[in-house]
A and B are shown apart, each in its own frame.
Chain A
C-alpha cells in the first residue's frame, strides 16, 4: 500500500522549461513534506521541504506548492537545466520527518 503516490514516473523537459512533479497522500496526520533529489550512483539528498501551515515555499528555481484540502503537493522546477536531470522523490512524515514515507520517484531528463 503506497501512502504517497507520485507522478509522472518519468518526465522529459527542454532546457529552460518548467518541470512539474505531483504527489498525493492519504494520511491526514502527515505534517512534513520533503523532496529528495538523487543523481545516478548517489544517495538521495534533501532538496526542499514544506510544512502544511504554508501553501508554497520557494528556494531559488525550486518551488513546492501544497494543497492541504486536496492532500496534494507538487514540485516545480523553473528554468530547468540539464544539471537538474535526476530522480526526484517526494516524501511525507508525521511529527517532523523521522519515519519518511516515499513516493515512487520521478526520473527527470532535461534536454539541452
Chain B
C-alpha cells in the first residue's frame, strides 16, 4: 500500500550492529504497529503506538526499541542485531472503524538479514 512506506526494503547487516527500520504513512492514522513475519509463525506484534505519546510492547519486544517521531512516523531499532532477528518486518497503521473494528494497513515490508 503506497500510503504506508518502509525504508529500507532490504538490508543485510552483521551481528552486533545497530539497525533502524523506518515507517512513514500518509493515511492520517493515529495507530501504528511493527510486526515481524517468520515462515510457519505468521506475524507477531513487536510494538504498537496509539498516538505520539503512547508506546506499548507487543508479543516479542525483547531486543527491539521504537520511536514515534510524529503521527506519521514510527521507527523500529535493533540495538545489537543477532542472527535470529533475520525476518521480514512490517509496519502497519490503523484507525478505529465502525462497530469498533480496526482495519490494519500494511507497508510493503523490510527484509532484514543478520549475518
**Are A98 and B50 in contact (CB-based, < 8 A)?**
yes
- Interface residue A84 (Cβ < 8 Å from any Cβ of B): no
- Interface residue A46 (Cβ < 8 Å from any Cβ of B): yes
**Are A104 and B42 in contact (CB-based, < 8 A)?**
yes
**Are A43 and B108 in contact (CB-based, < 8 A)?**
yes
Binds A, one of B14-22, B63-71, B79-87, B95-103: B95-103
Across the interface, B101 reaches (CB within 8 A) one of A4, A43, A97, namely A97
Q: Which residues of A contact B90 (CB under 8 A)?
A: 43-44
Q: Which residues of A contact B44 (CB under 8 A)?
A: 102
Which residue from chain A places its CB closest to the CB of B39 in the assembled complex?
A105
- Interface residue B115 (Cβ < 8 Å from any Cβ of A): no
**Are B107 and A43 in contact (CB-based, < 8 A)?**
yes
Question: Would you call the interface of chain A mostly helix, strand, loop, or mixed?
Answer: loop
- Interface residue A41 (Cβ < 8 Å from any Cβ of B): yes
Q: Which residues of B contact A42 (CB under 8 A)?
A: 108-109
Q: Which residues of B contact A97 (CB under 8 A)?
A: 94, 100-104
Q: Which residues of B contact A104 (CB under 8 A)?
A: 40-42
Q: Give A92-112 interface residues, CB cut-off 8 Å to B.
A: 93, 95-105
**Are A45 and B1 in contact (CB-based, < 8 A)?**
yes
- Interface residue B48 (Cβ < 8 Å from any Cβ of A): yes
Where the two chains meet, the residues of A that have a C-beta atom closer than 8 Å to any C-beta of B are 2, 4, 6, 9, 32, 34, 41-46, 49, 51, 89, 93, 95-105
Where the two chains meet, the residues of B that have a C-beta atom closer than 8 Å to any C-beta of A are 1, 4, 31, 40-45, 48, 50, 58-59, 90, 92, 94, 96-97, 99-109
List 28 A-B pairs, Cβ < 8 Å: A2-B41, A2-B42, A4-B42, A6-B42, A32-B100, A32-B101, A32-B102, A42-B108, A42-B109, A43-B1, A43-B4, A43-B106, A44-B90, A45-B106, A51-B101, A89-B43, A96-B96, A96-B99, A98-B50, A98-B94, A98-B96, A100-B45, A100-B104, A101-B59, A102-B44, A104-B42, A105-B40, A105-B42
